[in-house]
Structure 1
Amino acid sequence: MKKTINQNIFPWIWKWHFIGGIISAPVIIILAITGILYLFRDSYEASQIQRLSQVEEMAGDKMTYQQQWELVKKEWEKVPTAVALPGSESEGTEFISGKFSQKSSLYIDPYAKKVNGIVNVKETDMQKVRKLHGELLLGRYGAKVVELVASWMVVLIITGLYIFWPRGKGIKGFVTIRTNQTKRILYRDIHALIGFWFSILLIIVLAGGLPWTDVFGAGFRWVQDKTETGYPATWESNTVKSIPDEGTISLDEVMAKAKELSLDGRTLIDLPQKPTDVFSIYNRTANLSLMKKYHLDQYSGEVLVSHGWADIGILIKGRLWVMAFHQGQFGLWNWYLMIFVAAGLLVLSVAAIVAYFYRKRPGSLSVPAVPDGFSPSIALLVIVMLLGVTLPLFGLSVVLIFILNKLKVEKKMSMNN
């Protein structure tokens, strides 16, 4: 009996890998293409940023940072929430308002004492690419579709490895593409071999994307909070308070402190908005172990709280690492590797679709059949349940599929009666 069950598992897994793959493939292709395009963001936007940020050093009075801040508050309809520490004397000052897609940057030339220009992230070409990558340009509903497909991708990788594993063929089965067989077999082999050799990298890339999602991401953050493996409570500036006094320190003093700290990567300063807010100095760096954050009393300039990589919990450390890897932020090797992975994902997805159309018979979807009377084992159901709990939208889709399948069977039985 055990032998019969094991023989039946393969077509059952193959059927659901087939259905999930064909439905997901168009979205996966979009994700692969937009992922490749977004990796070129820095080089694509470099000329515009350089034009706005580069300034000509001139003799004479140069605006202080405090004067620049006052000018920005006067001339900009947005509220400046942060400022970047210039990397050199020939670099202007970037004031920032908002975060993520709502972020805007205003560039000041302190020598010419004027605004060089403004960049609104939501109006940039690359933000449109990012929205297509993360939401399919469909807002929250599109984000759920992307999360559902990403969840199914995890399952497709697991089931694909089981289906592909070349039982009894030795090492040859892991590297051979059968070019002397039918075109369907050729494209199936291309799909299977790329999927096998890229499987670990694809899992890491998915791990870097899933924490950004709505449902899985919310669950991930809940686990972080409950296990206290996220950021320390005083990491965010709104959890630390200044003690109001007669006068505040100037932005120049804060910028001098930030320069003195010599943080790795790009240094930013969050600006206080209320009398009890603090100045927060922190950095953006590819070397995550060198992350730092300092909260300064806006009146005395005293460092109230400071944090580093050692203060961050294990889950957020893992999340930050896989997210940075996903975006190719660890240097050229990582960038080229992500291009390679995205291109591989694109090729294996296209190969799957081509193989399907070579397989498809006229008037039929050609879905693989499962032997009559097959019933998944308890172990198999437990694995599906665990995946459903870990990836909630996958779990929800499985429940929906089960209900629809049950209704289909009942309808067929009633018609036969």
Structure 2
Amino acid sequence: MAQASLSGKATSLRLHRRIWRWHFLAGLLIVPFAVLLSASGALYLFKPQFIQWQEARIHAEAPSAASNIALSMDTLLAAAQRAQPGSELVKITLPRTPEDRSVELDLRDANAVWTLWVDRYSGELLHRARADQQLMAWTKRLHGSLLLGDRGSLVVELMASWMIVMLVTGLYLWWPRGTPWWRALFPRLTRQGGIRAFWRRLHGAVGLWFSGAILLLLLSGLPWTTVWGGGFDWVQRTMGWDGPGQEWVVTLQSGAQPAGHHGGADGLSLWERGHDNGNPVTLQSGPAAPATLPQTLQAIVARVTPEQLPPPVELRPPRGENGVWTVRSMTQNRPLRETVHYDRWTGAEIMRIRFADYHPVQRTVSYGIALHEGALFGWLNQLLALLTALAVIGLSVSGTIVWWKRRPKGRLGIPPLPQDAGIPRGLTALVIGCGLLLPLLGLSLLLLWLMDTMWTLARHRFPGSRHSTATLP
């Protein structure tokens, strides 16, 4: 019995050493990215407040209006196009309230998409900026792709996958064993044992407190990613979980389709992984209307205003000769989103898409996305998400300090492999399962295993290059 107990402890120690090694290697890989992504995500949480501040600043600098009667939306569009010659309308963000001073129009010229704020009462241009260079647009690209496009989004997905590894291995390493659980959650944050012991206790406590929230944010962000998100899209199509229609990319044909009909075209998910400049999907909806004048922009706005959709509300013009007007609430709280398509010729409603029209799987993921953006339950969601982002930064900083204080001088101090390099079957199955669920993680694990194996073989072949490593934390 005693020998079996000793054998069990030895096995547990070897497993502990191996998981510590994985935790260390994952930390070296992701710490800079974790700090960058957390900081950019924390900033993006406050997009609604920033936009309100930005608009208030623009309105404060505007001259007093000579009239209190708002100009028609067609007149405002014409004024914006005179200020941006050779441009075409991309979208209009409608005023949040009747008292709002300006209307926001996005116009595309030969070089870029520009956002123009036009005074609703005088038609005067109040402010102009490139849409992709505004702070929140820049922050979103930094958070989603490190400003590197599709390649950057792959890096972000890889880092998020490794952050999951960090959380799981960290929980295993710090889980209370032989001590009261409350001692791990509420450690004595004193300098007893040295500065490294202080940072180590703080690192473990923050990890235990926030691991669940961090994991939830990481998992809720996966639908945005390239590989995992693309695979999830394929599963949705295969299982028939698609939504009721493409909000932006679909081109309905204005005609005689009954109001309230929900189309069946493949569409963008509620978390907007697609782009609105791709090839439009055509959904036939009856014969084209007679060659009469189309509805004016102001007439469509008049139809939309009584709907009182949650702001911000975007209006996009018809595509092609017989497309439709598309109006969509773009509130970050996705369960409140609603999309309406209006006939170009008559102004009649030909399609309405509500949150309830989506498959339960899409609705569930959308709740997670709203939580990820701090929009699901107001300011409290923003606060919790901010604290979680700060916790990631704190874990990154404290973990780096612990490593720096522990490492041998002039070396990385990579924890050694246990003498018995074998991996328990259960752990092997778990690693393979994680690699399949997170493909980029699986590929990187395979690459690291090959590199680690080659390095170990080289060290055994050239014993002089072998260095001693640190003890367990």
Q: TM-score, normalised by structure 1?
A: 0.89
Question: Does residue 303 of the first structure (1) align with residue 309 of the second (2)?
Answer: no
Question: Does residue 216 of the first structure (1) align with residue 228 of the second (2)?
Answer: yes
Who is 2:123 aligned against?
113
Who is 1:204 aligned against?
216
Who is 2:239 aligned against?
227
Question: Does residue 80 of the first structure (1) align with residue 80 of the second (2)?
Answer: no
Question: Does residue 377 of the first structure (1) align with residue 385 of the second (2)?
Answer: no
Who is 1:149 aligned against?
159
Whole-Å separation in 1 of the counterparts to 2:230 and 2:332: 25
Shift of 1:26: 1.9
Q: Is the CA contact (8 Å cut-off) linking 2:94 and 2:313 kept in structure 1? A: yes
Who is 1:136 aligned against?
146
Deviations 1:337-371 (A, max 9, x none): 12211111111111101111111112332222232
Residue identity opposite 2:383 in structure 1: Y
Who is 1:391 aligned against?
438
Whole-Å separation in 2 of the counterparts to 1:29 and 1:361: 25
Whole-Å separation in 1 of the counterparts to 2:159 and 2:77: 45
Question: Does residue 313 of the first structure (1) align with residue 359 of the second (2)?
Answer: yes
Distance 1:397 1:164, change over 3 A: same
Whole-Å separation in 1 of the counterparts to 2:226 and 2:386: 26
Correspondent of 1:32 among 38, 54, 71: 38
Distance 1:325 1:78, change over 3 A: farther
Q: Is 353-362 or 365-374 further displaced after alignment?
A: 365-374
Whole-Å separation in 2 of the counterparts to 1:239 and 1:274: 8
Shift of 1:397: 0.7
* Paired residues for 1:8-407 under 5 Å: 8-52=14-58, 56=64, 58-59=66-67, 62-76=70-84, 77-86=86-95, 87-97=97-107, 104-178=114-188, 179=190, 180-233=192-245, 235-236=247-248, 238-242=250-254, 243-245=288-290, 246-330=292-376, 331-407=378-454
Distance 1:38 1:290, change over 3 A: closer
Q: Is the CA contact (8 Å cut-off) linking 2:335 and 2:363 kept in structure 1? A: no
Whole-Å separation in 2 of the counterparts to 1:43 and 1:263: 19
Whole-Å separation in 2 of the counterparts to 1:252 and 1:230: 33
Q: Is 13-22 or 105-114 further displaced after alignment?
A: 105-114
Whole-Å separation in 2 of the counterparts to 1:235 and 1:198: 36
Whole-Å separation in 2 of the counterparts to 1:147 and 1:288: 22
Whole-Å separation in 2 of the counterparts to 1:280 and 1:364: 60
Gaps of 5+ in 1: none
Between structures 1 and 2, the one with greater helix share: 1
Shift of 1:324: 2.2
Gaps of 5+ in 2: 255-287, 464-473
Distance 1:294 1:205, change over 3 A: same
Whole-Å separation in 1 of the counterparts to 2:107 and 2:240: 30
Residue identity opposite 1:11 in structure 2: R
Alignment length, in residue pairs? 413
Residue identity opposite 1:316 in structure 2: Q
Shift of 1:224: 2.5
Distance 1:380 1:60, change over 3 A: closer
Distance 1:208 1:105, change over 3 A: farther
Whole-Å separation in 2 of the counterparts to 1:324 and 1:295: 24
CA RMSD, 1 decimal: 2.6
Whole-Å separation in 2 of the counterparts to 1:80 and 1:326: 31
Identity, % of aligned positions: 27
Deviations 1:93-129 (A, max 9, x none): 222247xxx7532222232133222222322344444
Distance 1:119 1:244, change over 3 A: farther
Whole-Å separation in 2 of the counterparts to 1:382 and 1:48: 52
Residue identity opposite 1:182 in structure 2: G
Q: Is the CA contact (8 Å cut-off) linking 1:15 and 1:367 kept in structure 2? A: yes
Q: Is 173-182 or 340-349 further displaced after alignment?
A: 173-182
Whole-Å separation in 1 of the counterparts to 2:180 and 2:98: 59
Q: Is the CA contact (8 Å cut-off) linking 2:196 and 2:405 kept in structure 1? A: yes
Whole-Å separation in 1 of the counterparts to 2:160 and 2:399: 17
Whole-Å separation in 1 of the counterparts to 2:89 and 2:24: 51
Q: Which has the higher contact order (CA 8 A, sep 6+)?
A: 1
Distance 1:113 1:128, change over 3 A: closer
Distance 1:262 1:130, change over 3 A: closer
Deviations 1:6-29 (A, max 9, x none): 442111111101111122112212
Distance 1:85 1:325, change over 3 A: same
Shift of 1:401: 0.9
Shift of 1:139: 4.0
Q: Is 168-177 or 230-239 further displaced after alignment?
A: 230-239
Q: Is the CA contact (8 Å cut-off) linking 2:158 and 2:440 kept in structure 1? A: yes
- Structure 1 counterpart SS, 2:350: strand
